Amino acid sequence: MMRLAALSLLLACAVSLSSAGVVIENGMPVMWAHTAGQASDLPIQNGALFPDPWNFLHRMSLERLIIAATDPFLGCMGTNATDNPFWGLTLQLGWMLTSGRFIDPTGATNCGLQTGDPMCISTQSWWGCVNYFTSALPFLSAAQQGFMGDGVQVQMQVPEGVMDYCTTYADCVTQYPDAMSKWDAFFQAVKAAADSPLPDNEKKDAILGLYWEAQMSSTYSSAACSARKTHYSSEEMKFASNWLNLAEYVAAAHFHTNLENSVMFLSPLPGRVLQAGDVAPNIADLTAEENHTLSTFSWMNSINNLLGGSLVRLWRSAMCSVTTREKGREMMGQLLVNPSFATSSFLSIVSGMASSC
């Protein structure tokens, strides 16, 4: 069974004491060594897998099992063992833990705190709620498509008194049919990838396109989490909105969220929950990289809002081919991790790319 021993908890406490969010340790996502290596390591009840997605190790196990099950079909992603696109969600999950975004924001419980259970994901956390849709839903779809074994059934655990989360494949299909159908389409395409006659770069682009369609549909479904936003400062919720807006750009570019790329994008995210008075780029206890990322996120969302959403539409128009999407991914990297890459350059280049489509 998956180890939830003292070593795990001590390590979690040490990580959570860091002044910045951590996405990787010893070359792998945080706490990776303590997650389930095979589906049978998860709890089983009434013959069905019975994971607890409100425990961090269980939730990360869902991502790890998807990676292991889909890797044999995804040779087109690259030659590295960490080229599966699900590494991005795994690392994002770790950042949310180590930056304190899974802690109960109401203060009513010690969920997520070092004085309580540091592996606890609060059902009141907006971040934990949104992430549920990109961890539990794809796992339920993957199991339905046979990636966890023939006929394997899954029932997600849910804390007593919490009613607003779907917990089975059938339940999620009823509540979120678009997200589940897109995850099904993605996993079906993964199975068919090995027999596809397309060149690897086109095959990769097509699979990443389906992956991002599914992930964005899950993100849109997470509007069900909106009531939890009231637990946070206006600065944190502005950052959350900017973070969601950025997803539109990386999705349209079919960004390859392998481990290497994801570390580059996630490492400069703010390592703590933002509080009243936090205004980038002048947040004293955040690094220059974190301040730059927050400023860039804010600029992109502000411009898009001022233009009535036309910046996102322009970007989507520019991402019209395999070639322009490759250029788009490079531009996103420059914009987010290179402070010398001016935002004005981004606008002019995007306009030029869109006109050529």
User: DSSP letters of 2-68?
Assistant: ----HHHHHHHHHHHTSSS---EETTEETTGGGS-SSGGGS-EETTEE---TTBHHHHHHHHHHHHH
User: Do both 222 and 284 map to the same domain?
Assistant: no
Q: What is the pLDDT of residues 295-324, one digit of tens each?
A: 999 988 888 888 888 889 989 999 999 888
104 with 15, same domain? yes
How many folded domains does the chain comprise? 2
| Mean pLDDT value across residues 42-57 | 97
188 backbone dihedrals φ, ψ, rounded to 5°? -65, -40
Round to the nearest angstrom and report the end-to-end CA distance of the chain. Answer: 53
15 and 130 in a single domain? The answer is yes
pLDDT digits (tens, 9 = 90+) for 98-127: 999 999 999 999 999 988 899 999 999 999
Q: Tell whether 315 and 340 lie within a shared domain.
A: yes
Question: Do 143 and 23 share a structural domain?
Answer: yes
Q: What is the mean pLDDT of the chain?
A: 90
Coil, strand, or helix at residue 286? coil
Domain that holds residue 337: 232-357
Tens of pLDDT, residue by residue over 246-297, are: 999 999 999 999 999 999 999 999 999 999 999 999 999 999 999 999 999 9
Render pLDDT for 157-201 as a digit per residue (tens, 0 to 9). 998 878 789 999 999 999 999 999 999 999 999 999 988 899 999
Per-residue pLDDT at 342: 63
Residues 246, 350 within the same domain: yes
Point out the domain boundary residue: 213, 230, 247: 230
pLDDT at residue 2 in the model = 47
- 351: which 2 tokens? 């306009």
Q: The whole model's pTM is what? A: 0.92
Strands 28-29 and 48-49: unpaired
